[in-house]
Structure 1
Amino acid sequence: MEIARKQNMKTVDGPEEYFTGKATITGQFSRPDPSNVTGAIVHFEPGARTAWHKHPRGQTLIVTEGVGWTALEDGEIHEFYEGDVLWCPADKKHWHGATPHDAMTHVAIQETDENGKNVEWMEKVTDDEYLKGPKKG
């Protein structure tokens, strides 16, 4: 059994090329063969979000705190909450992050493909795309 203690985990800023606003990444992990699972805990301050990206084998997000938004390319923005579990299918271009007024933390879990790749980063989500927000009603 292996336990990664919170006090020993390294926290890094989300790279500016992949995030808008303040995001931090803690507890990044990958598992040894035969597993190909990777993950991390990601915290987004209000207004922070990822760039557009996709995962070759999909991604699960487990929301541990706050309120967030997510959208698939050409799709509407969806709001999610602490305790929700999100699934983004393989190779679907998407983004996720906090709302403009609420912080959000999630555990991100994804798998690497046969080339060792678990994400493909793309362009940043524009303010206009982000601020559309979820549909009301």
Structure 2
Amino acid sequence: MYITRQRPGTERGAAENFTGTVWLDEIAAPPAPSRLRMFDVHFAPGAHTAWHRHPHGQVLHILQGEGRVQRRGGAVETVRAGDTVWIEPGEWHWHGAGPHTFMSHLAVVEAAGDGTTTEWGAHVAHEDPHA
């Protein structure tokens, strides 16, 4: 058993992967053989990810606020505190805060054998009224 009492500092989301102000706190990255990764992600109003996908999928659990999530080719969905979203392995998607509220979620992923967790794509088009 391991108890983590000191975590890495909060990091700002990289501009190439996020639109708007986003902060990430690493919650868990256990040593091998575990490939679990967990983050607490905080989005300012209107902030969101670029299109991306995960080799083993992703679970998002909304902690506070209201957000948006969309899979490529699907409708933009509204999510609220208490909702949990399962994103399929390899499914291109984006997620973030609604236009007028902050949103925080826990993001849980499993790294691939080479350690990668995310493949990043293009930013969400600005003409999308929900992004």
Alignment TM class, shorter chain as reference: over 0.9
Query: Which residue number corresponds to residue 74 of structure 2?
Result: 75
Percent of pairs identical after alignment?
37
Give the structure with the larger helix fraction: 1
Distance 2:13 2:39 in 1: 11
- Superposition TM-score, scaled by structure 2 size: 0.93
Distance 1:82 1:105 in 2: 8
Query: Which residue number corresponds to residue 3 of structure 2?
Result: 3
- Unpaired segments of 5 or more residues in structure 1? none
Output the amino acid matched with 2:98. T
CA contact (8 A) 2:13 2:21 kept: yes
Query: Which residue number corresponds to residue 85 of structure 2?
Result: 86
Distance 2:121 2:85 in 1: 21
Output the amino acid matched with 1:110. V
**Where does 1:106-117 land on structure 2 (aligned, <5 Å)?**
106-117=105-116
Output the amino acid matched with 1:21. G
1:30–1:8 Cα change, 3 Å: closer
- Unpaired segments of 5 or more residues in structure 2? none
Offset, 1:33: 1.8
Pairwise CA RMSD: 1.5
Tell me whether 1:57 sits opposite 2:56 in the alignment.
yes
- Superposition TM-score, scaled by structure 1 size: 0.89
Offset, 1:27: 2.5
The runs of 4+ residues in structure 1 deviating greater than 6 Å are none
Aligned pairs, number: 131
